[in-house]
Amino acid sequence: MPLLVIPFPAFDPVLIHLGPFAIRWYALAYIVGILAGWAYARALVRADSLWSGKAPLTVLDFDDFVVWVTLGIILGGRVGYVLFYNPAHFAAHPLEIAQLWNGGMSFHGGFTGCVLAVFLFARKRGLPILSLGDITCAVGTIGIFLGRIANFINGELWGRAADVPWAMVFPSGGPIARHPSQLYEAALEGLVLFAVLFVAMRAGALKRPGMIIGLFAVVYAIARSFCEFFREPDAQLGFLWGGATMGQLLSVPLFLAGAGFILYALKHPARA
């Protein structure tokens, strides 16, 4: 254990109580992430210079899509957590599946839910699926960043034992000083990924449908796999095949799919 350990801030997971109701930091992260992403998406759709002319969808299209993608994130994230991370527990306690306020969301499940929402909404509206997916991925980094900050505030998903100067003792992690891996993920999966996609769009990535989807998947998979080396595996799973974690294993197909989208985008001419 390091000589100096940063004490974990005593955050209350509940931001404010309103009578019998409570607004939690985790819920606030989702709400603010969706609203901020919605505003950013509207700005991207209006930026004709990023598309070589008018975007292939309108602001009103994305306004209507927000409900769809919100449901995709929540339902996909929860189903993914149930199936990937704790199927035995939820099979024995099925009523707990709906208790979202107790935490338990999977990024890979939420991403799958987003993909399904994009596909269904684009088919319904007659919109280009890849361009709608590009916008969704470009703004999704905001929610990822806020979600990881909420994980840190809740004192959950903490890291492995560490002797670095910034190690922390988390209330639910025992007396061991640990990596604040939630902050690592917020930085790499949120801020760095946001910056990569922003630069790519400025360089013309939206003119090649599917490029932002591919970059999002590839960079996220790399960032998540790296951060998993510092994050304590879920207790009910531990280390899996070859010493990998569930997050790393799920990132492999995500990386391969992202590489496929990038190759597809590069093989097709840019929008003129």
pTM over 0.85: yes
Side chain identity, residue 88: A
Q: Tally the residues of the chain.
A: 272
Residue 140 exposure: Cα atoms within 13 Å on the Cβ side: 26
pLDDT band at 101 (very low <50, low <70, confident <90, very high): low
Instruction: Tell me the mean pLDDT in the region 250-271.
Output: 92
Cross-strand bridge partners of residue 203: none
Tell me what pLDDT residue 190 has: 95
Average pLDDT, the chain: 88
Tell me what pLDDT residue 95 has: 82
Burial class (CB in 10 A: 0-12, 13-18, 19+), 10: exposed
Task: Answer yes or no: is pLDDT of 4 > 60.
Answer: no
Task: Answer yes or no: is pLDDT of 199 > 50.
Answer: yes
Domain extent listing, the chain: 9-267
- Comparing 200 with 6, the larger pLDDT belongs to 200
Residue 160, classed as helix, strand or coil, is coil
Q: Where are the alpha helices (DSSP H) in 85-210?
A: 87-92, 107-125, 129-154, 181-185, 193-202
Tell me what pLDDT residue 1 has: 46
